[in-house]
A and B are shown apart, each in its own frame.
Chain A
């Protein structure tokens, strides 16, 4: 079974069109041309669908990195596929 981190990376690659081997190191909101405000919401909505969780507007503004998202997903217990 795929880990939560792997699923998260798969979604990020798909939303930002990075390709299966694209590096995700140091990916930070607004530092990557694809991760702008529209990409951010696209990512949030895709994550909600994949992990069946609901992000509040506070969550939306607080996450900046993949680590932030992973820790938020762990907090919300979003593991379902």
Chain B
């Protein structure tokens, strides 16, 4: 059941209606049942896995609190079991392929068995949420939850179950424990967020995905500039996809009276790569900071210094995104850039570079270029694309050929994306001070009507574009 589907619309409307009109005692059971129905709508067997992971971390949390002297052993057992689940469902195929490749080179005549395992949707998100809970209980940052039903709801809360935000127990559990009465303002702001998220996903991400596919489907037919622009559009497409999902998740949460964590803070306004990672997918980067980077700093790797810790953390962050060498390299490249940024900080501060130039360089080079690894199917194709992108002098006129971007429907997608992205960036910048709709609401009647008319036209244009394009795909981060 995708967020951008009619089924989900009816599902959400029904759950919201019963939640706000039914007896208070049924609110939490309703949300829990709805969350499992939502997750099992992809595959009923997934529900068992979700329940098993939940039960495991619940038991480890209770165990650590009651037998404190064995807390460390219990924690490691819990972490090991969680990582085993991730390994079997997400990384086994990648592992067996590489083992078999290596064994083939050694001619040992033995193969790791190939097993076709369907990756359960959202596994990386709820397993990480479950892991964070165990570590937080171990670090005494939260107490172990006694109520199993409430804990099940914390892990499975459907708005954020399959693609985050990855919530900490300290934020979500107390909110789930509280009774929430109907809040008109919460519902209104939630619906605005849902509409914003649908716009990002259904208009921008879908538009850009067609252009990105046109660039990278057969990269040998494209010039260097076309591939470079394709990589920039791919980064924006991924942003609109996951940020759109997050907006819908936050909006749904708010409609139930629950505030989920902020996940994106205008990442492309970052003035350096380190700041970018503080603004991009904040609940995931915060997770890696608190549970990987800080844990590594307290372990034996610390003797090699901060650069090695940063590098290893980003390597694992890359691997989290997908079981492939492309993601491993992408993680390493990002780790390398953060290390270089950090180690040259004192030297760079001697130069006064305008903030706009730093922002442009961060997006156009540091964030945009490595996206080639994310959007290509293997390392060979990535290297081929880079060779073309950096071959500006060797390819003469071919490098500049971006005629395909303006052919047929592509021109419509390109132009509409550019206009919508410009409008969205301005709106998000203004939103930092005060929500745009609230500002408009205070304007004099004439000006206010004009603003609403413009917004109405934008909505009509956006819906028109969706029908014109006739595509509706799943969210990118589901596969993570």
Q: Which of A's residues lie within 8 Å of B, judged by CB?
A: 17, 36-38, 41-42, 44-45, 48, 54-62
Number of A-B contacts (CB under 8 A): 46
Q: Are B140's CB and A41's CB within 8 A? A: no
Q: Are B346's CB and A41's CB within 8 A? A: no
Q: How far is the CA of A38 from the CA of B141 in the complex (A)?
A: 22
Partner of A61, one of B139, B345, B346: B139
Q: How far is the CA of A41 from the CA of B289 in the complex (A)?
A: 10
Please classify how large the interface on chain B is, using the bins under 10, 10 to 19, 20 to 34, 35 or more: 20 to 34
- Judged by a CB distance under 8 angstroms, whether B274 is at the interface is yes
Instruction: Closest A residue to B342 by CB, please name it.
Output: A38
Extra pairs beyond A38-B274, A45-B302, A60-B297 (15, CB < 8 Å): A17-B346, A38-B310, A38-B342, A41-B297, A41-B306, A41-B309, A42-B306, A48-B302, A55-B297, A56-B298, A57-B294, A58-B139, A59-B298, A60-B298, A61-B141
Q: Are B306's CB and A45's CB within 8 A? A: yes
Give B340 Cβ to nearest chain A Cβ, in Å.
12
- Judged by a CB distance under 8 angstroms, whether B293 is at the interface is yes
Chain A residues lying within 8 Å of B306, measured Cβ to Cβ, are 38, 41-42, 45
Q: How far is the CA of A33 from the CA of B338 in the complex (A)?
A: 15
Give A62 Cβ to nearest chain B Cβ, in Å.
8
Q: Contacts A38-B274, A42-B306 hold; do A60 and B294 have CB atoms under 8 A apart?
A: yes
Q: How far is the CA of A55 from the CA of B338 in the complex (A)?
A: 24
Instruction: Closest B residue to A61 by CB, please name it.
Output: B294
Q: Contacts A55-B298, A57-B298, A61-B139 hold; do A41 and B293 have CB atoms under 8 A apart?
A: yes
- Judged by a CB distance under 8 angstroms, whether B111 is at the interface is no
- Judged by a CB distance under 8 angstroms, whether B305 is at the interface is yes
Instruction: Closest A residue to B310 by CB, please name it.
Output: A38
Instruction: Closest B residue to A60 by CB, please name it.
Output: B294
The B interface, classified by DSSP as helix, strand, loop or mixed, is helix
Q: Are A61's CB and B309's CB within 8 A? A: no
Q: Are B294's CB and A41's CB within 8 A? A: yes
CB-defined interface of B297-308 with A at 8 Å, one 1/0 digit per residue? 111001001100
- Judged by a CB distance under 8 angstroms, whether B43 is at the interface is no
Chain B residues lying within 8 Å of A44, measured Cβ to Cβ, are 297
The 5 closest A-B pairs by CB, nearest first: A57-B298, A58-B139, A60-B294, A57-B295, A41-B297
Give A18 Cβ to nearest chain B Cβ, in Å.
12
Q: How far is the CA of A44 from the CA of B303 in the complex (A)?
A: 12
Chain B residues lying within 8 Å of A45, measured Cβ to Cβ, are 297, 302, 305-306
Chain B residues lying within 8 Å of A58, measured Cβ to Cβ, are 138-140
Can you list 6 A-B contacts with CB-CB less than 8 angstroms, sorted by A residue number? A17-B346, A41-B294, A55-B297, A57-B139, A58-B139, A59-B298
Give A14 Cβ to nearest chain B Cβ, in Å.
11
The A interface, classified by DSSP as helix, strand, loop or mixed, is helix
Chain B residues lying within 8 Å of A41, measured Cβ to Cβ, are 293-294, 297, 306, 309
Q: How far is the CA of A48 from the CA of B338 in the complex (A)?
A: 23
Chain B residues lying within 8 Å of A60, measured Cβ to Cβ, are 294, 297-298
Give A38 Cβ to nearest chain B Cβ, in Å.
5
- Residues 266-315 (chain B) with a chain A CB within 8 angstroms: 274, 278, 289-290, 293-295, 297-299, 302, 305-306, 309-310
Q: How far is the CA of A62 from the CA of B136 in the complex (A)?
A: 11
Q: How far is the CA of A38 from the CA of B114 in the complex (A)?
A: 41
Q: How far is the CA of A56 from the CA of B293 in the complex (A)?
A: 12
Chain B residues lying within 8 Å of A48, measured Cβ to Cβ, are 302
Chain A residues lying within 8 Å of B309, measured Cβ to Cβ, are 41
Instruction: Closest A residue to B275 by CB, please name it.
Output: A36
Q: Are B293's CB and A37's CB within 8 A? A: yes
Chain B residues lying within 8 Å of A57, measured Cβ to Cβ, are 139, 294-295, 297-299
Chain B residues lying within 8 Å of A59, measured Cβ to Cβ, are 298
Chain A residues lying within 8 Å of B294, measured Cβ to Cβ, are 37, 41, 57, 60-61
Give A12 Cβ to nearest chain B Cβ, in Å.
16
Give A15 Cβ to nearest chain B Cβ, in Å.
10
Give A75 Cβ to nearest chain B Cβ, in Å.
15
Chain B residues lying within 8 Å of A37, measured Cβ to Cβ, are 289, 293-294
Q: How far is the CA of A59 from the CA of B346 in the complex (A)?
A: 28
Give B436 Cβ to nearest chain A Cβ, in Å.
28
Q: How far is the CA of A58 from the CA of B294 in the complex (A)?
A: 9
Chain A residues lying within 8 Å of B345, measured Cβ to Cβ, are 17
Give B71 Cβ to nearest chain A Cβ, in Å.
11
Instruction: Closest B residue to A38 by CB, please name it.
Output: B342
Chain A residues lying within 8 Å of B297, measured Cβ to Cβ, are 41, 44-45, 55, 57, 60
